[in-house]
Structure 1
Amino acid sequence: MNFNNKYWGLQIVFAILVIFFMFYNPIICILIIGIALLLFAFYAIWFVNNLNKNGIESTGKIVSYESDNEGYKTPIIEFTIAEGKTFLGKPYIHGSSDLDKFRTYNQNINKAVKIIYNPKSPEKFILKGSTNGFVIFFLIIVGLVFIYFSVINLMGYNAIF
């Protein structure tokens, strides 16, 4: 998800809190990260559910793939909305695995894919039937583990940390 433009102030506050507690009490730092992961996952669940209820289903085609600095690939999809305007962009939520670093995905170029987009802002779209659920589930599990071990440790019990 792209939080860079809208929530930059919140990101700065989060970074300052994490850095401060990293030196003051690292357990609180882990607790803050766990809470942030849960909030991020719940926002993603809300966004996907909202799109499934209110979004418009359409068909797009994969134009290319974009690799980030670590080699993970994200599809660039072109689609036309109901008003006839054409959009080109990346899915708002997309999960990649380590296998994506080694695959070329050239066979998927110009392949038709189903998408669901937000009619109010069509640049916010997701691939229909993608594996976003696994990514969100993973974030929830990691967030809960971080919170569990930090609360146990803050209560004075011996935890792994």
Structure 2
Amino acid sequence: GVKLPTTTTYVNGKITIREYFTLRHHFRPEDLFEYGMQPQFLSRFDNAVILEDLTSGTLARIFKEPAEGVLQTSQNFFQKYNIQLEITDDAVQKIADEASKSSRIGARALKSVYGRIIKPFEFDPFSREEVKPLNGDGGPFRLVIDDKLVSEALKPAV
């Protein structure tokens, strides 16, 4: 047999050792021939790339960091209405955790999950109590998306 890598965790006084299999560690190009793919077909590909599911930590980075990403696009939208959009780290993590449940669609799940939260604000931002003036004179406004708001928005419809 093949020796599988292990992880050891210690939680609540219990040690857990878990073996895990990743195709990336064991893949050989010959495996595709054995699977039944024709050499004429496989010779057209220079490389085989093994993709892994995105972790919620990676999804959180994808959500926050790109200049043209989901969050930046949303902030630019609200800026047109003189609304400063902020999102807490806990809220970002909840969004990433929810998106990671849809592992088959990768980072596209972020847009879907975030859309469920932000769409009501995009439709009519000033009708929402969460949009508050930064100062008392009705000047610039502020919208803070926190983990409580995310949890409410992601609750299953009853």
TM-score bin (small chain): under 0.3
TM-score by length of 1: 0.22
Greater radius of gyration (CA) = 2
Q: Quick check: which one's strand share is greater?
A: 1
- Structure number with the bigger relative contact order (C-alpha 8 A, sep ≥ 6) is 1
TM-score by length of 2: 0.23
